[in-house]
């Protein structure tokens, strides 16, 4: 067996260079544009065009709610199949290419849908396709990047993940504002960002001798990663789930917080929301790279994940005690910046930590897909929990205190991890 064949499942030790890092960040940027330009701009407008002003909220809830299935199922499924792929082009490259091309087609089709049912199906297909590409892309970090570079690699990914939504939403909001043009631009930008990495990536093929026999029952059961057998992975999953839930709850009701708590009119609230998102994204972009670099240099992960989680909790407590009325605007801006600083640091270091607790080399993409469920499920749960807290259990003060407490519990969940310092 050649060295190339063996390297597909080996722990990487050769340091990756700048082109790999740049391509990785650019590909993640494209993925985020493909997700968030539709989610935050195109789909709401399409839903209103189809369902009318009176039914747009319910229509969008159906479209995005069903679309989450594409992430929850598509990412780990594509990851598991990627782990078993024996193509001469490698394990990850075929899924990144196929997912990108199918996602490109799906994005082109979105503005042509004339009913909520067809729009839902189209968005579900886009989610499956983009998540297939994302599953292969995410696995390249544990596949290719040595442990002592994973903080900076994850930091660059965090930077792209923070800037991607801003870029995507900005382009379809201010540059190409038609639904058709915006969808086409999103599709083109998506593939142009992902494809260069396919030429940079050295993706060694998996030897057929290393591919286990396919048994459907065993394959299905493999998506359950026992926390008893792999406790570090279980704790890392729980921590990611809790912090993702708190972030989703913190950002979901920002617009309503501005209108109902700070008493801004709707137009002003929309403008102020943009300011808050810019502060949040700015904080995230600054600390994601710095946090990853410092973590690599010190060889520590857990302490930085805990510190980042505490910073996020501080932002929650600040928001909880913002006084009513427009006089609370200054505290709100401060909280948004603190939230971004904490989350940027968290994204970089926690992702690096997760790559170090994956149970087996042969299931890296599948296990990262399971981790992705911890990112996706909060998008479904957060609206329900936030609505109950705001309407029945004390309003925005209760909501943001809950955000802080959930985040602190997430920080505590990292402590029992033993295999990573």
Which stretch of 69-73, 342-346, 367-371 has the lowest confidence by average pLDDT? 69-73
Tokens 């009318």 sit on residue: 52
Beta-carbon contacts of 291 under 8 Å, excluding residues fewer than 6 positions away, are: 151, 155, 304, 308, 344, 345, 346, 348, 349
Exposure b/e, 18-53, CB count within 10 A at least 16 = b:
eebbebbbbbbbbbbbbbbbbbbbbbbbbbbebbee
Cα–Cα distance, 263 to 272 (Å, whole number): 12
Residue 84, pLDDT above cutoff 50: yes
Percent of the chain whose pLDDT exceeds 70? 98
Per residue in 286-334, pLDDT (tens digit) is 899 999 999 999 999 999 999 999 999 999 999 999 999 999 999 999 9
Domain pair 3-207 / 231-414, same fold? yes
Mean pLDDT across 349-377:
94
d(CA 168, CA 43): 13
Q: What is the pLDDT of residue 264?
A: 93
Alpha-carbon gap, residue 8 to 11, rounded angstroms: 9
Q: What is the pLDDT of residue 227?
A: 95
Mean pLDDT to the nearest integer, 394-410: 96
Q: Which two tokens stand for residue 295?
A: 């973590």
pLDDT exceeds cutoff 90 at 110: yes
Banded model confidence at residue 384, pLDDT cuts 50, 70, 90: confident
pLDDT value, residue 3: 37
Most confident option among 218-227, 279-288, 292-301: 292-301
CATH match for 3-207 among 1.20.1250.20, 3.90.1150.10, 3.30.300.30, 1.10.10.10: 1.20.1250.20
Q: Which of 266, 285, 257 is nearest to 165 (CA)?
A: 285
What is the C-alpha separation between 320 and 336, in angstroms, rounded?
12
User: So what's the pLDDT on residue 5?
Assistant: 36
226-252 core/surface letters (b: 16 or more CB in 10 A; e: else): eeeebebbbbbbbbbbbbbbbbbbbbb
Domain 231-414 class in CATH:
mainly alpha
User: Which of 178, 176, 203 lies closest to 189, judged by CA?
Assistant: 176
Closest CA relative to residue 344, chosen from 297, 292, 300? 292
Let me know: does 322 contact 261? Beta carbons within 8 Å: yes
Question: How much is the pLDDT for 79?
Answer: 96
Give the pLDDT confidence of 266-276 residue by residue, as tens digits: 788 888 888 89
**What digits encode the pLDDT tens for the residues 339-359?**
999 999 998 999 999 999 999
What are the sequence ranges of the domains in the chain? 3-207, 231-414
């Amino acid at each position: 067996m050649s060295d190339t064949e063996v390297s597909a499942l080996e722990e990487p030790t050769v340091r990756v260079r700048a082109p790999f890092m740049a391509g990785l960040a650019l590909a993640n940027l494209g993925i985020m544009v493909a997700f968030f330009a539709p989610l935050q701009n195109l789909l709401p407008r399409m839903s209103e065009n189809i369902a009318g002003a009176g039914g747009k909220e319910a229509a969008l809830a159906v479209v995005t709610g069903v679309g989450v299935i594409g992430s929850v199922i598509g990412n780990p499924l594509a990851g598991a199949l990627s782990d078993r792929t024996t193509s001469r082009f490698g394990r990850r490259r075929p899924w990144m290419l196929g997912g990108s091309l199918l996602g490109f087609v799906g994005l082109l089709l979105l503005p042509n849908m004339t009913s909520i049912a067809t729009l839902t199906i189209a968005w579900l297909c886009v989610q499956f396709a983009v998540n297939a590409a994302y599953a292969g892309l995410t696995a390249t970090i544990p596949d290719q990047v040595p442990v002592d570079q994973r903080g900076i690699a994850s930091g660059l990914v965090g930077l792209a993940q923070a800037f991607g939504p801003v870029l995507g939403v900005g382009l379809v909001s201010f540059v190409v504002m038609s639904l058709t043009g915006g969808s086409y631009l999103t599709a083109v930008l998506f593939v142009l960002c992902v494809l260069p990495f396919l030429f940079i990536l050295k993706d060694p093929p998996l030897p057929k001798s290393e591919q286990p026999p396919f048994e459907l029952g065993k394959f299905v059961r493999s998506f359950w990663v026992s926390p008893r057998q792999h406790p570090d992975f279980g704790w890392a999953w729980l921590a990611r789930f809790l912090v993702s839930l708190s972030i989703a709850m913190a950002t979901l009701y920002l617009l309503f917080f501005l209108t109902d708590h700070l008493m801004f009119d709707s137009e002003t609230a929309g403008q102020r929301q943009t300011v808050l998102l810019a502060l949040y994204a700015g904080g995230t972009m600054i600390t994601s790279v710095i946090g990853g670099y410092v973590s690599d240099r010190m060889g520590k992960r857990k302490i930085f994940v805990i510190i980042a989680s505490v910073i996020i909790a501080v932002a929650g407590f600040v928001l909880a005690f913002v006084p009513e009325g427009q006089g609370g605007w200054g505290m709100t801006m401060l909280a948004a910046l603190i939230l971004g600083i904490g989350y940027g640091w968290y994204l970089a270091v926690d992702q690096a930590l997760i790559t170090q607790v994956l149970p087996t080399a042969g299931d890296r993409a599948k296990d990262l897909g399971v981790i992705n469920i911890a990112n996706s499920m909060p998008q479904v749960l957060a609206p329900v929990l936030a609505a109950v807290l705001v309407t029945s259990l004390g309003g925005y003060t209760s909501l943001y205190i809950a955000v802080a407490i959930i985040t602190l519990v997430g920080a505590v969940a990292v402590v029992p991890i033993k295999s990573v310092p």
